[in-house]
Amino acid sequence: NMMFNLWQSEKCEDRVDTVKSLSLIDMFVPYFPLDRQAIRQVLQRSIQRRVKALNKGRGKQHRITVSEEVLEFLCDKIEWDGAYAVEGAKEVATVIRRHVFGLLYKLSVSGDHGTNGGNGEGGGVAHLELAMDEAGKKVELREMGLADAPSEEE
């Protein structure tokens, strides 16, 4: 009724068209506006879900952590209206696809472990980190721990 009254008072269209339009709507579902912290959590979980899909059925498993700088960089790519994301979490998939998915795809195809040339052979877990490049303009995949120093044979 609220929508009908609003449309009727503002004379947006003929009454018949308004009634037709409203008959197509089953229910209005309000959403909770997402702030920066909520979007960061959605980004983190979405990336981890993609990593889990990457690991499924593979001999070499990857554990990927996401740096705070990357989460902040990705959050900056979301459109904001004050403290809230304009489209909620709808933009998260696009932002991840644009800035992260290519790195994960290369990792799955080549078996490479980031920028230092690991060969992806053998079992176990490779610990990698999504971090910003030195210029702070691009996300990159880095090896963590002992995997940072590949042997000369690789």
Residue 57's pLDDT is 67
67: tokens are: 């740096």
> Could you give the C-alpha distances from 10 to 3, 17, 20, 26, 33, in angstroms and in order?
11, 14, 17, 23, 26
- pTM: predicted TM-score of the whole model, two decimal places: 0.67
User: What value does the CA radius of gyration of the chain take, rounded to a whole number of Å?
Assistant: 23
> Is the model's pLDDT at 151 over the cut of 90?
no
What confidence tens digit (pLDDT) does each residue in 51-82 have?
888 888 676 778 889 999 999 999 999 999 99
What confidence tens digit (pLDDT) does each residue in 80-101 have?
999 999 998 999 999 999 999 9
Spatial contact of 43 and 106, defined as CB atoms under 8 Å apart? no
> Could you give the C-alpha distances from 58 to 76, 79, 121, 123, in angstroms and in order?
33, 36, 11, 9
Spatial contact of 121 and 89, defined as CB atoms under 8 Å apart? no
Spatial contact of 60 and 122, defined as CB atoms under 8 Å apart? yes
At position 138, the amino acid (one-letter code) is: K
What's the rounded Cα separation, in Å, for the pair 85 and 75? 9
> Is the model's pLDDT at 152 over the cut of 60?
no
Spatial contact of 61 and 8, defined as CB atoms under 8 Å apart? no
Tell me if residue 26 falls in helix, strand or coil: coil
